């Protein structure tokens, strides 16, 4: 997946002000600044919008499972999935920036059994995840990001 879209324009950023600022800092520094949020490591996720076909970018906290990265579709404990997650269901090919590295990856939602195995570590990383899950009837998805290149 190309990082650029709309005839060479940069990916569109998530509408949240802090996300846009952090993503700009992360990218403009080549992955040397803006790499954490609340003390938790973050990555940049570039994905294709399911309706627009436009490449979009967001900043997400991540955990690890071996060589793979794990992201949580918590949406702050909302009863609806985050839009980035709905887009990944339609198009699982993404591009990541993790620190100074940029590379393509493939996404997949963890099964209930896989989530049960990794969830405690994700909650240790960011304890609010447990509160978010308790506060919604929605099963919060955990997504595996596996490097493809």
Local confidence band at 1 (pLDDT 50, 70, 90 cut-offs) = very low
Local confidence band at 149 (pLDDT 50, 70, 90 cut-offs) = confident
Q: What are the residues whose beta carbons fall under 8 Å from the beta carbon of 67, sequence distance 6 or more?
A: 146, 147
Question: How far is it, in rounded angstroms, from Cα 15 to Cα 12?
Answer: 9
State residue 18's pLDDT score.
Answer: 78
Q: Greatest CA span in the chain, whole angstroms? A: 43
Q: What are the residues whose beta carbons fall under 8 Å from the beta carbon of 55, sequence distance 6 or more?
A: 1, 2, 3, 4, 5, 11, 12, 46, 47, 48, 49
State residue 5's pLDDT score.
Answer: 37
Q: Which residue carries 């009837």 as its tokens?
A: 137
Structure tokens at 31: 């992955």
47-98: pLDDT as tens digits: 999 999 999 999 999 999 999 999 999 999 999 999 999 999 999 999 999 9
Query: Taking the C-alpha atoms of 140, 13, 2 and 70 in order, what is their torsion angle to the nearest 10 degrees?
Result: -30
Q: In percent, how much of the chain has pLDDT > 90?
A: 85
Helix (H, G, I), strand (E, B) or coil at 104: strand
Q: Which fold has domain 12-147?
A: Pnp Oxidase; Chain A (2.30.110)
State residue 11's pLDDT score.
Answer: 66
State residue 12's pLDDT score.
Answer: 62
Please report, for the chain, the start and end positions of each structural domain, with discontinuous segments joined by +: 12-147
For residue 20, pLDDT beyond 60: yes
State residue 8's pLDDT score.
Answer: 44
């Amino acid at each position: 997946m190309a990082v650029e879209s709309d005839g060479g324009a940069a990916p569109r950023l998530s509408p949240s002000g802090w996300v846009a600022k952090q993503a700009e800092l992360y990218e403009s520094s080549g992955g040397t600044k803006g790499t954490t949020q609340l003390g938790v490591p973050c990555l940049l996720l570039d994905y294709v919008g399911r309706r627009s076909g436009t490449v979009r970018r967001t900043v997400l906290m991540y955990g690890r499972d071996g060589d793979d990265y794990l992201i949580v579709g918590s949406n702050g404990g909302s009863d609806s999935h985050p839009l980035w997650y709905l887009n990944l269901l339609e198009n699982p090919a993404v591009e990541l920036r993790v620190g100074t590295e940029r590379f393509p990856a493939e996404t997949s939602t963890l099964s209930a059994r896989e989530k049960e195995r990794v969830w405690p570590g994700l909650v240790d990383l960011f304890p609010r995840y447990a509160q978010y899950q308790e506060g919604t009837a929605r099963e919060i998805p955990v997504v595996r990001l596996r490097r493809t290149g």
